């Protein structure tokens, strides 16, 4: 059945700032990496013809700006710029979409820039991968899972995805979320254990969360500095994730990640929606 997915829209829900030179070593053969770059907290709204609205991640929440020592440590290396009107709940209301209309929220992983506004969507079923759920249950300080950002009764509301199957001409196993071939969830380790990435097959689109910090930055992976490497859950798996994205691109599928520039993502989505 065609046109199950009516459209995919993108929202920038706050952003953090960092210097490329702090993240990657310079190369003698390329232009010097310099300057500050903004990393938007990207959120994707998917309109399913039968199910209705599905949200992929929820961006930052306003609580991350509170005067809290733990939050200060999180913000220190990557200063956050966020206003109330940037919240995904506020942006949806501006479009005339009530929070209660969101049927499902897919959380790629449980870092603050992906779960910050999830409490607002009280009627939504929450979807995460099994490895992500296990990471939540047995989290360490390094995992940066601030459980207070998750909704009350989170464990009762969550749907944990456990089974994955091979999809023809696709390099990683996936789960057909709604059994209609519209949305396929893949689990890719590296930045975070069990990171949930989404194939929107009709739109020829793969939303890859934080498999990398930007598709345009994939080429610098081998030059990542020590501290950014340590931020990853497992850097070897991170490198394998980059290989997966490159294979997906070779299949002529558009790849976007959560922290890609707003301009790049909107250009791709405009072409796919039309």
- What is the structure's pLDDT at 30? 64
Read off the pLDDT band of 1 (50, 70, 90): very low
pLDDT digits 0-9 by tens, 42-75: 999 999 999 999 999 999 999 999 999 999 999 9
Q: Which residues contact 257 (CB under 8 A, 6 or more apart)?
A: 42, 207, 208, 209, 210, 211, 212, 213, 214, 215
pLDDT digits 0-9 by tens, 79-103: 999 999 999 999 999 999 999 999 9
Query: Are the beta carbons of 102 and 55 closer than 8 angstroms?
Result: yes
Q: What is the mean pLDDT of the segment spanning 13-37?
A: 83
Ramachandran class of 209: left when φ > 0, alpha when ψ lies in -120 to 50, beta otherwise: left
- What is the structure's pLDDT at 29? 62
Read off the pLDDT band of 2 (50, 70, 90): low
What's the pTM value of the predicted model, to 2 decimals? 0.96
Q: Which domains does the chain have, with CATH numbers?
A: 5-273 (3.60.15.10)
Encoded tokens for 239: 């490198």
Q: What is the mean pLDDT of the segment spanning 200-212?
A: 97
């Amino acid at each position: 059945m065609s046109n199950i997915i009516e459209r995919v829209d993108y929202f920038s829900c706050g952003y953090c700032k960092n210097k490329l030179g702090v993240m990657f070593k310079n190369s003698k053969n390329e232009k010097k990496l310099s300057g500050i770059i903004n990393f938007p907290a990207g959120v994707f709204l998917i309109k399913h013809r039968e199910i209705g609205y599905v949200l992929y991640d929820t961006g930052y929440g306003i609580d991350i700006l509170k005067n809290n020592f733990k939050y200060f440590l999180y913000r220190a290396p990557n200063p956050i710029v966020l206003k109330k009107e940037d919240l995904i709940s506020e942006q949806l209301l501006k479009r005339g979409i009530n929070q209660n209309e969101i049927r499902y929220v897919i959380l790629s992983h449980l870092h603050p820039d992906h779960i910050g506004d999830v409490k607002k969507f009280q009627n939504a079923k929450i979807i995460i991968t099994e490895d992500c759920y296990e990471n939540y249950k047995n989290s360490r300080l390094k995992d940066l899972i601030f459980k207070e950002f998750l909704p009350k009764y989170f464990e009762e509301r969550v749907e944990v995805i456990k089974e994955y199957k091979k999809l023809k001409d696709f390099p990683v196993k996936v789960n057909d979320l709604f059994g209609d071939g519209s949305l396929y969830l893949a689990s890719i380790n590296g930045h975070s254990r069990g990171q949930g990435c989404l194939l929107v097959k009709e739109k020829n689109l793969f939303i890859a969360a934080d498999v990398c910090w930007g598709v345009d930055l994939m080429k610098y992976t081998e030059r990542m500095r020590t501290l950014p490497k340590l931020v990853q859950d497992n850097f070897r798996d991170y490198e394998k994730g980059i290989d997966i994205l490159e294979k997906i691109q070779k299949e002529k599928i558009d790849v976007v990640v959560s922290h890609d520039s707003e301009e790049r993502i909107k250009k791709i989505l405009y072409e796919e929606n039309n």
